[in-house]
Amino acid sequence: MSIAYTITGKGPFDLVFIPGFVFNVELDWTDPLRARFLSRLACFSRLIMFDKRGTGLSDRVAEDRLPTLEQRMDDVRAVMDAAGSERAALFGLADGGSLAVVFAATHAMRTLALVLYATLPRYTRTASFPWAPTREEAERSLADLARDWGTSELAARSIGENGEEAKGLAALMRQSASPGAAVAMERMNLEIDVTHVLGAVHVPTLVLHRTGHPIDVRGGRYLAEKIPGARFVELPGSEAFPYLGDSERLLGETEHFLTGLWDAGAWAEPEPDRILATILFTDIVGSTAKAAELGDKRWRELLAEHHRRIREELVRFPGIELDTAGDGFFARFDGPARAIRCACAVHEAVRDLGLELRAGLHTGECELLDGKLAGLAVSIGARVATRAQPGEVLVSQTVKDLVAGSGIEFEDRGSAELKGAPGRWLLFAVRAS
C-alpha cells in the first residue's frame, strides 16, 4: 500500500494535517485559497500532509475494503516515519478529526498537540448526542451524495456560491474519490463513534468550529467538554471548509495555540502515564477437569503448547503479552480490529489440541505502571471475558464502535452489569466468518 505525502515548510515543530476524504496533496496546491491556507500552516511548522488510503494520489482500495480507523492510524505512523518525524502536532479536519483523536489517545508519545476543526465524535443521533441527524436522515443524504458527487451543483451547495471556486471544488472531489468510494466512506463514518475515547486524550487540544457550520456547533462544544483541558474557540461564519470565509482568524488561533505551547516548552514533558489500549483476556474452558483427566505431566505439556501457539498469534497480529495467570492470557493491542482477529485466530490455533477458549475484549484508557497496564479498563476487559461463552469472542460496545469498516460482524448479547464497573454495559459477540 502506497501513501502519497508531502512536506512543506521548515518550522521548529512538525504538524501533520489529517484531512477528510475531499483532499489531494497535488491538486490542493493549484487552488489559490487552499494553497494560501496550507502555506500559512507551513509558515510556522514543518507541514506534513498525506492522502488517506483509498483517496487522492494514495493507492485506491475496493469500496468494500475501506481502511478502518486502525489502518489509518498505521498510515499516519508510516507517513511520520517516512518524514523522519518522531513527534508531531495533529490538525484533524472533519472526519479526519476522529482519526486524530484516536491517534492522540493511542499514541500519546508521538503526539505533541491536537487541533480539531469541524469534527464530530459521531455522526448520528443518540440520547447523549441529540442534535445529530437520525440514521434515516443520514442515509437519505447519501443518496444525494451518490447522485451529485463531483458536480458543480454539489460543490456550490457545500460552499454557498456557484463561481470558479465551486468548479475547483468539484474537480477536487473527482480527484479525491470516486462516487462509490465517497458514499462508502460516508456510510462507514456513520458507524464510527469515538465518544468513549475523548476522556483518554491527554495532549493539549484546541477545538475550532464555526457557529453556522453545516455540522452543528454543539458537536464542537461536546468535544471540548469531554477532552480534558481542551480549549474551544467558536468562530463566526457558516463555511464548511477551513480555507473559506475568515480563514485568517482560524489560522491565527491555530498558530497562537501551537507556537505558544512550543515557546513555553509545554511539549518537553515526561512520557504519558496513561494510554488508550485494547485489552484481551483469554482462558481455557474446563481447565480443571482437563488437567485432572490428563495428569500433571501431560497437562503441563499441553499448556506449554497452548502458550506457544497463542504467542505466535500475538506476533502475527502485533500484540503485547502482559501476563499469563494459570491457563489465561492477558495482552494489549494498539487497535481493536487486530485484537479481535488475534482472538479469533487463537481460538482456531488451539482447537486441534482439544481445547476451547473464551475471550473478552475492551478498549479504554489504561494506566502505565512500570510497563504494565492497570485501571478500570483492564478490569472491564477481564469481566467481559468471564461473560463469554465457550468458543466465543465477546467485546464491549467501545470495541464495536471503533472497528467500523473492518468487515467484522457482531451479534448483540444485550447488556450486563460488570462487577466493579458502573452502570450496565452493552456486549457483542464476534460473528464467525
CATH number at residue 38: 3.40.50.1820
Q: Phi first, then psi: what are they for 133, rounded to 5°? A: -65, 155
Residues 255 and 361 in one domain: no
Residues 286 and 255 in one domain: no
Q: What's the CA angle centered on 274, arms 272 and 277, to 5 degrees?
A: 125
Query: Is residue 106 domain-resident?
Result: yes
**pLDDT of 271:** 60
**pLDDT of 421:** 83
Give the separation between CA 8 and CA 28, rounded to whole angstroms.
13
Q: Is the separation of the CB atoms in 22 and 98 below 8 Å?
A: no
CATH number at residue 398: 3.30.70.1230
Give the separation between CA 236 and CA 248, rounded to whole angstroms.
12
Q: What share of the chain is helix, strand, coil (3-state, %, to 5)?
A: 45, 25, 35
CA torsion through residues 373, 376, 381, 382, sign: positive
Give the separation between CA 126 and CA 188, rounded to whole angstroms.
17
| pLDDT tens-place string over residues 113-144 | 999 999 989 988 888 888 888 888 888 888 88
Domain boundary among 211, 233, 263: 263
Average pLDDT of the residues in 212-223: 87
| pLDDT tens-place string over residues 29-63 | 888 888 999 999 999 999 999 988 878 778 777 76
For residue 28, what pLDDT band results from cuts at 50, 70 and 90?
confident
List the domain range (segments joined by +) for residue 74.
5-263
**pLDDT of 64:** 63
Residues 280 and 336 in one domain: yes
Residues 64 and 120 in one domain: yes
Average pLDDT of the residues in 362-389: 89
Average pLDDT of the residues in 372-392: 91
Name the amino acid, one letter, at 48: I
Query: Is residue 39 domain-resident?
Result: yes
Q: What's the CA angle centered on 211, arms 209 and 212, to 5 degrees?
A: 115
For residue 325, what pLDDT band results from cuts at 50, 70 and 90?
confident
Residues 312 and 258 in one domain: no
Mean pLDDT of the chain: 89
Which range, 87-101, 260-274, 397-411, is most confident? 87-101
Give the separation between CA 244 and CA 250, rounded to whole angstroms.
10
Residues 177 and 213 in one domain: yes
Residues 306 and 352 in one domain: yes
For residue 433, what pLDDT band results from cuts at 50, 70 and 90?
low
> Under 8 Å CB-to-CB from 387, ≥6 apart: which residues?
360, 394, 413, 416, 418, 427
Residues 135 and 14 in one domain: yes
Number of domain units in the chain: 2
**pLDDT of 272:** 63
Residues 321 and 415 in one domain: yes
Residue with cell 469500496: 63
Domain boundary among 210, 243, 263: 263
Instruction: State whether residue 286 is helix, strand or coil.
Output: coil
* Buried residues in 227-246 as b, exposed as e (16+ CB within 10 A): beebebbebeeebbbbbbbe
Residues 238 and 300 in one domain: no
Which range, 15-19, 94-98, 261-265, 422-426, is most confident? 15-19
Distances (CA, A) of 369 to 103, 158, 275, 373: 21, 48, 11, 6
* Partners of residue 274 on adjacent β-strands: 367
Query: Is residue 269 domain-resident?
Result: no
**pLDDT of 176:** 83
Residues 322 and 207 in one domain: no
Query: Is residue 38 domain-resident?
Result: yes
Indicate the pTM of the whole model. 0.87
User: 155 burial class (0-12, 13-18, 19+ CB within 10 angstroms)?
Assistant: buried
